[in-house]
A and B are shown apart, each in its own frame.
Chain A
Amino acid sequence: MTAPQPNAPVRPNSFDLTAGEIARLRGKARFIRLETIRLIEIAKVGHYSSVFSAAEIFAALYYDVMAFRGDAPGWPDRDRFLMGKGHAAVGLFPILAEFGFIDRETLDGYTRLGNPLGDHPDMRKVPGIDFSSGSIGHALSAGAGMAWSGRFEKRGFSVFVMLGDGEMQEGQVWEAALFAGHQKLNRLVAIIDRNGYQLDGKVDDVMAIEPLGAKWRDFGWEVHEVDGHDIAALTRLLREVKADDSRQKPCCIIARTLKGKGVSYMETEPGWHLGYLDPADAARAVDEILSKEI
């Protein structure tokens, strides 16, 4: 690493997390879930369960692994983050506000007329968004382009692309997988939020994608599987992957997750991909999230 990591702690010897780090990241994942409920109350509709499956991924990346500067969104050596599942952006906006990319008033005006924050992230309107999304299947190509550029210009940044598991059904994902594998884009990391559901039902009923790890290996990627809600294991893996300068291929992390993780009835009902909780139900959901440790 040639670039400084202003937000990342110094860990000279081990990738393991301290108990304090684990507690802090758990708190951040909880914060992401709670803020998602709060913001969706403003919009009166939103993607709760898509954020809840990814809350630990957001927390690990933004509060531990990635290097960036909230006061300099265009810092050329920053690590990049892209979302194939752009509909989970409501979970990212509170993080951007916490790091100062956007102000609190903007966050609290989520989806209101003229506000830059909508259901999907827009890089032209929102500082800290590295690429716009909303049309599923594009993000890995864009991330691969960034990783190609980073290597060409000899910058050390990593590119993290969060993909949905339903997104695996998009053909462009596999064009990008072939491209990144062929180009050996070793600073590119795809994280698949393998929560098992898409709008029409279970991913494996709608259009089966397994064996997923074998597919990515066959496309020339290094593949890891991890419990996407085990913040210690997930963060440790991301630290290792980012620090690994010997890898000569892109890296795919299959994060096994639960759609709706944290709110019990969402974990068993895929309809919560999109929905609304009235204030009383929202308060109960908040209580449930606060009452248990993930």
Chain B
Amino acid sequence: MSGPLSPNSWQYRALNSANPGLDFLSDALIELARDGHRVIAGSADLQYSNGLNKFAKEFPERYISFGISEQNMVTAAAGIATTGMIPFVATFGSFLGLLACEQIRMDCAYCAQPVRLIGHHTGISLGFYGTSHHATEDIGTMRSIADLAIVSPADGPQLYAALKATIHHPQPIYFRIGRGREPDVYTRQTPFVLGKAIEHGIGEELTIIACGLPVHPSLEAARRLTAGGRSVGVIDMATIKPLDRAAVLRAAKRSKILMTAEEHNVLGGLGSAVAEVLADEGCGIKLVRHGIHDEYSLIAPPTHLYAHYRLDADGIEAVARETLARI
């Protein structure tokens, strides 16, 4: 066996290096380091998946390979943070949100250390790798931890902006990000403010409150429905905690029905957070929570899963039409 491989063949490192899905993460960290911030980064054997290899190449002395030891990574990051540094540690969201959940609670949040926890490939974006790699509970676990903020960017540019905008936040933040193949909604210059939703419009009939990957298809669905004469708006709830309650209440006041869209179990996630606000304030408005309905996802390529679970534009449009029919 000799001779060159077919151009259709590929291997993990080369593919990810040539076409980094999550280069926004490293780009932001490199700029923060160059600007004099005391940032370091670490990963649990996934630097080519989360693109931190780019940062590691630029600042090798600021990068820690933790090996496949997520719990040690999270706690060590908290220890590092006690000395005034800002550690960014990354692994799959499924491992941060569940395997290292107690380390996040005890060592990052309870100790109030400014650790940046980067949970990537969240939701069902790892497709046929299956349930072990899917993160559909992480918002639920992270949301119930006091003093922990949760940011769920819609795309890479928003991640970039959020990483930089929150650099002085004195407490830990869980960044729930995708796999870097989300279509862009924003540019790197779009301002990000922790705790402020981005209102793309409030519908007279329906407002869809979305976070993460479903933001883009929600906007597309709203555009189609609006073109068809319906009044549908979208709020990007990029910060899940602290939740922008005022934005929820503005939508509740003006719309006839609300819908949430998230790549997460409908229990414990964005839909639950919005429902809590509506109940707290006695809004009396119907809310349709769209997402994964308390089940383990099927396996399939990601785009097939998004179609199956109606998290692509066609699917969200269909759920929105059903929601409108309930007014």
Residues on A lying within 8 angstroms of B by beta carbon are 76, 122-124, 130-135, 138, 141-146, 148-150, 152-153, 155, 171-172, 175-176, 178-179, 182-183
Contact = CB atoms under 8 A, between A and B. Distances in A.
A222 B64 CA distance: 23
B102 A148 contact: no
A148 B76 contact: yes
A150 B189 CA distance: 36
B106 interface: yes
A76 B76 contact: no
Contact of B76 (A123, A130, A145, A152): A145
Nearest to A149: B83
Contacts of B78: 131, 142, 145
14 contacts: A124-B112, A131-B82, A132-B106, A133-B106, A135-B102, A138-B103, A141-B103, A143-B79, A146-B80, A148-B79, A149-B83, A153-B85, A175-B72, A176-B72
Contacts, number: 95
User: B-side binding surface: helix, strand, loop or mixed?
Assistant: helix
Interface string B79-112: 1111111010000000000000011001100111
B79 A141 contact: yes
Contact of B106 (A76, A138, A152): A138
B131 interface: no
A145 to B, nearest CB: 3
Interface residues of B, number: 29
Interface of B: 40, 61-62, 64, 66-67, 69, 71-72, 74-85, 87, 102-103, 106-107, 110-112
Nearest to B69: A175
A149 B71 contact: no
B64 A148 contact: yes
Given A144-B79, A145-B80, A172-B75, 12 more contacts: A122-B110, A124-B110, A130-B82, A133-B106, A141-B71, A142-B78, A145-B79, A146-B80, A146-B82, A149-B80, A178-B67, A179-B66
A95 B84 CA distance: 26
Nearest to B81: A145
Contacts of A141: 71-72, 74-76, 79, 103, 107
User: A-side binding surface: helix, strand, loop or mixed?
Assistant: helix
B67 A179 contact: yes
Nearest to B74: A141
Nearest to B77: A145
Contacts of A183: 64
Contacts of B40: 152
Nearest to B79: A145
Nearest to B87: A145
Contact of B111 (A124, A149, A171): A124
Nearest to A145: B79
A150 B76 CA distance: 13
Given A138-B103, A179-B69, A144 B111 contact: no
Contact of A179 (B72, B82, B85, B106): B72
